[in-house]
Amino acid sequence: MDLVNLRQISVTAEEYCVCMDARMGHFTDGEADAGAMTAGSDAGSQAVSCVCPYADTDAERHTHLNASLSRNSYGCPAHGLQHVVGRFYWCDVLKALPLLLEQYEGKIQLVYMDPPFVTGQTFWFQQPVGVKGWLGNRNHIITHAAYDDLWKSGRDAFLSMMREVLSCVYRLLSPQGSLYLHIDYRTSAYMRIMLDEIFGEENFLNEIIWHYRSGGRAKNHFSRKHDTILFYRKSPQYYFDIESVGIPRGKVRRNHMKQQVDEDGRIFWSIRSGGREYRYYEDDRIYPSDVWDDISHLHQKDPERTGYDTQKPEALLERIIKASSRPGDIVADLFAGSGTTLAVAQRLGRRWIGVDNGIFSLHTCRKRLVHSLNRLYGEDCLNGKMPEEASKRQAKVLFHHCRHLEDDLEHKVLPQIDVECVGLSDRRLVVRLKGYALRPIDGHRGLEDMVRGMSLGPLDLVDCLAIGYVEDGVFKAVNWSMRSYHTPCLREELAMDVCHGREPVLHVVDVYGQQWFFRVEGM
């Protein structure tokens, strides 16, 4: 078979869509069909969806949620459900704010944000290279700068950015909504005062202390082993469900108390005081206070780790999201990083909005969220096959590229990429990626040096591959392969159905963080 021609193009967004199969119950966490608040136009079409006009207000939305057992009865036309589970905006937060206000003012239930802490440091991203890297070989990992937390003009620049962001977050939140702002000792005093001004002192709820036991002990002062999470409500109508984050009291031994078993076989500890007996049942639920010392930070080898520095544990976000949102609500994180908030929100049946200006944040979030979408909805629609009736119920995530094209192309080195067409009928195309290498270009030795000494296969520099088509500037992925610890090998052959007006487009992400979209020509 012949090599095909590839013509580089740019896109404004990427869309990953899977169809909901019998496993869709996972998405709803057994509670409600979260995605059902969004509806698209035609049944089975891949058009970008809009927020369902039938479920705009909280009251309507929760009526719909209560109707969750008849899953299609949300007031949306049952034949045309197209579920946008989440949107990620790859751009500076200040650029995203007007876009968000236009679409989501007063509609977001929960905002969690973990902005830079003004540390004066650069934070890193560890990229495994090829099969060996993904199998855990430490010599096959390269390190990229993920983001700089440097603030050359000092803390004031950070504070002025945060004032703009927080004022906008206040407007984005629904009257039942809440904000959790994750910071540390460097900015907590400033943020508390700023938030009191923007949200009103009366809407301050907690200063949560997240205490972790990381290594390293200071000798000149007490070791700093906590972060601060400031919790504000938008208004007294805020939603909060402590029951959803209760934890069993457990078997901890209690001094001065006696362990007993009651007539129903339940174990309790008791103490008598003032002539009364107080009982503490082991299976009773207790509720977290404002000091959280039961959630560990991520260890070096933690399976949750994505390679993105400053990644937070999912358990932390799970507590926040469960307590302050319901299935179907919108949860936003405007400094998304590795996408922890978005991944947990998706898993718990919430919709999500993420913003980050880092290319490694985009790549990490794309992988994390698309993998989890596959797990939640099933992988039956991969290989370019969308069963007819399943295509009517789809879940999709969107990644908007709002950066300037020039930023995107900066420092890029066009690769030598060989793609072969191995099957083409009137309906179906199969292409095979045969090789991917950097073209030797003077002045760009830096990239080649990063992998010097590694023995690499012909596709090892490729980390993600997708095939699809472009509609209205949006790349619509139909079939994809993304390396992970579970799937270190790249699927080199990708197939898609072709039809008139849908020219195949290939999306490639390499281990240098470069990404390309190519129109496939000359078949």
Ligand X SMILES: C[S@@+](CC[C@H](N)C(=O)[O-])C[C@H]1O[C@@H](n2cnc3c(N)ncnc32)[C@H](O)[C@@H]1O
Q: Which stretch binds ligand X (CB under 6 A): 21-29, 196-204, 354-362, 501-509?
A: 354-362
CA 82 – CA 386 distance, rounded (Å): 14
Q: Which stretch binds ligand X (CB under 6 A): 114-122, 272-280, 414-422, 425-433?
A: 114-122
Residue closer to ligand X, measured from CB, 325 or 338 = 338
Residue closer to ligand X, measured from CB, 15 or 114 = 114
Q: Which of 86, 10, 29, 9 is nearest to 342 (CA)?
A: 86
Residue closer to ligand X, measured from CB, 358 or 415 = 358
Q: Does 415 bind ligand X (CB under 6 A)?
A: no
The correct pick among 180, 268, 292, 308 for binding ligand X (CB under 6 A) is 308
Residue closer to ligand X, measured from CB, 21 or 184 = 184
Q: Does 177 bind ligand X (CB under 6 A)?
A: no
Residue closer to ligand X, measured from CB, 338 or 481 = 338
CB 482 within 8 A of CB 464: yes
Q: Which stretch binds ligand X (CB under 6 A): 202-210, 290-298, 330-338, 515-523?
A: 330-338
SS3 281: strand
Q: Does 372 bind ligand X (CB under 6 A)?
A: no
Residue nearest to ligand X (CB): 337
Q: Which of 97, 81, 86 is nearest to 345 (CA)?
A: 86
Residue closer to ligand X, measured from CB, 61 or 319 = 319
Residue 355 CB, shortest distance to ligand X, in Å, is: 6
Residue 182 CB, shortest distance to ligand X, in Å, is: 7
CB 456 within 8 A of CB 450: no
CB 44 within 8 A of CB 470: no
Q: Give Cβ neighbours of residue 401 (< 8 Å, ≥ 6 apart).
A: 11, 12, 13, 14, 90, 91, 408
Q: Which of 26, 77, 86 is nearest to 52 (CA)?
A: 77
Q: Give Cβ neighbours of residue 384 (< 8 Å, ≥ 6 apart).
A: 428, 467, 478, 479, 494, 495, 496, 497
CB 402 within 8 A of CB 89: yes
3-state secondary structure 266-277: CEEEEEEECCEE
Please give the angle made by the CA atoms of 19, 494 and 379, to the nearest 5 degrees: 25
Residue closer to ligand X, measured from CB, 82 or 364 = 364
| Per-residue contact flags (x/-) with ligand X for residues 132 to 171, judged by CB under 6 A | ---------------x------------------------
The correct pick among 24, 36, 93, 370 for binding ligand X (CB under 6 A) is 93
Residue closer to ligand X, measured from CB, 338 or 372 = 338
The correct pick among 35, 40, 86, 116 for binding ligand X (CB under 6 A) is 116
Q: Does 358 bind ligand X (CB under 6 A)?
A: yes
The correct pick among 357, 372, 391, 479 for binding ligand X (CB under 6 A) is 357
Residue 335 CB, shortest distance to ligand X, in Å, is: 3
The correct pick among 87, 192, 234, 312 for binding ligand X (CB under 6 A) is 312
CA 170 – CA 395 distance, rounded (Å): 29
CA 40 – CA 200 distance, rounded (Å): 38
Percent composition of the chain: helix, strand, coil (DSSP 3-state, to 5): 25, 35, 40
The correct pick among 27, 104, 335, 352 for binding ligand X (CB under 6 A) is 335
CA 110 – CA 327 distance, rounded (Å): 12
CA 239 – CA 254 distance, rounded (Å): 34
Residue closer to ligand X, measured from CB, 91 or 462 = 91
Say if residue 509 is exposed, middle or buried (CB neighbours under 10 Å; 0-12, 13-18, 19+). buried
CA 84 – CA 38 distance, rounded (Å): 6
Residue 147 CB, shortest distance to ligand X, in Å, is: 4
CA 481 – CA 468 distance, rounded (Å): 12
The correct pick among 46, 310, 372, 481 for binding ligand X (CB under 6 A) is 310
Residue 157 CB, shortest distance to ligand X, in Å, is: 10
Residue 176 CB, shortest distance to ligand X, in Å, is: 24
Count residues binding ligand X (CB under 6 A): 19
**Which residues in the 450-509 window bind ligand X by CB under 6 A?**
none
CB 401 within 8 A of CB 90: yes
**Which residues in the 430-449 window bind ligand X by CB under 6 A?**
none
Q: Which stretch binds ligand X (CB under 6 A): 59-67, 215-223, 232-240, 337-345?
A: 337-345
Residue closer to ligand X, measured from CB, 342 or 398 = 342
Residue 183 CB, shortest distance to ligand X, in Å, is: 10
Residue 93 CB, shortest distance to ligand X, in Å, is: 4
Q: Does 311 bind ligand X (CB under 6 A)?
A: yes
Residue 487 CB, shortest distance to ligand X, in Å, is: 22
Residue closer to ligand X, measured from CB, 37 or 162 = 162
Q: Which long-range contacts (CB under 8 A, 24 or more apart) does 488-491 make?
A: 488/131, 488/133, 488/134, 488/135, 489/131, 490/433, 490/459, 490/462, 490/463, 490/465, 491/465
Residue closer to ligand X, measured from CB, 128 or 337 = 337
Residue closer to ligand X, measured from CB, 310 or 346 = 310
Residues in the chain: 523
- Supply the DSSP symbol for 415: E
The correct pick among 46, 82, 228, 340 for binding ligand X (CB under 6 A) is 340
CB 421 within 8 A of CB 495: no
List of residues contacting ligand X (CB under 6 A)? 92-93, 114-116, 147, 308, 310-312, 335, 337-338, 340, 355-358, 361
